[in-house]
Amino acid sequence: MFFNLFSFFISFMAVFGFILVLRPIANNVGLLDKPGPRKQHLGNIPLIGGLAIYASITICSFVLTPFDSHYKMYLISTSFMVLIGVLDDYHDIDAKLRLIAQCLVGSLMVFGSDLYIHELGTLFSNEVIELGAFGPIFTVLAVVTCINAFNMSDGVDGLVGAISLNTFISIGVLVIYGGANFDNSFTSILVGAVLAFMFFNFGTFKDRRYKIFMGDAGSMLMGLTVIWLITFTTQSSQPLMRPITAVWIIAVPLIDMFSVMLRRILSGNSPLQANRDHLHHLILSKGYSNSNTTLIIGGLSALLCSIGILSELMGISEKLMTSIFIALFIFYSFTIIKIDKKQLR
């Protein structure tokens, strides 16, 4: 079944409840995002979205999903990831220290559950790319990459939530057509939790006192959850999708992150240096509102997810999909570089 309505509803309501409980606590302990040079929102906003989503996922996973060793290690890994994210929300942890922590969390997921990427499919030839002994190390790098791709996307209301929803729904759609061995309860839990958060994040309620942010705890939780799902669904004995399809359903945060890092390196700066050079910053600079920026990028993400799903269902060559993705990345990066040069004139 594509959508487990009961799991969705329980998760949705759980996040609502946790947000209402955590919001006054965040105000009392100072877990708040305050306006600054790189943060242009109004007032102090509680950073509790990630904590509420995490609490909902944890409880619902125990009650509503087939709880096995993989789920156990997933929840242990996410617990450490959320803890690191909360500390980062409080104290702005140094980027290098944060990377080390992410590597440790990735190692816990990989070596604790023996879940890792051992093959990449036929990306460049008719031969399957086997990673062998390099597989666990490659997976840890993939974990760090995905966590930071989603973390870097967290710059506009609802953006990380929209991108995450596109990915979770894409996996749910693929389950319909070929995932007889996969249970959709977990993706339903994720969709319900993220949607509930977005009600508060967008300031849907008239009283803006209820507005919250996801925080680093939430964006890194989303990144870790996505890479865990991708690894699980592409590397099982009966995979749900091919690795290149997984790349397409997270194309927007991946392309944006690698393009930003490339441009920073070409400018002689550190790839880890924070700046207002992401896709959402570019769209905002053109005069679009936060909500319209999220709508544009979320729509682009949905389009690329759809391309990935169709390529999987139609059995389009992995080599072709890899070539198109690389061409898309090159086109996007050079287009942004040209735009940057025009703005400097």
Q: 265 is written with which tokens?
A: 């390196």
Residue 151 annotated in ligand binding: yes
Q: Taken in order 101, 49, 73, 135, is the CA torsion positive or negative?
A: negative
Q: What interhelical angle do 49-64 and 185-201 show, nearest 10?
A: 160
Measured between alpha carbons, how far is 255 from 237 in angstroms, rounded to an integer? Answer: 29
Q: How many CB atoms lie within 10 A of CB 108?
A: 18
Nearest to 221 by CA among 172, 157, 297, 151: 151
C-alpha 16 chain-centroid distance:
21
3-state secondary structure of 174: helix
The answer to whether residues 6 and 184 touch, using CB atoms and an 8 Å cutoff, is no
Beta partners for residue 46, in sequence order: 32
Residue 27 annotated in ligand binding: no
**Can you say which residues are annotated as belonging to the binding site?**
151, 216
**Can you say which residues are annotated as belonging to the binding site for Mg(2+)?**
151, 216
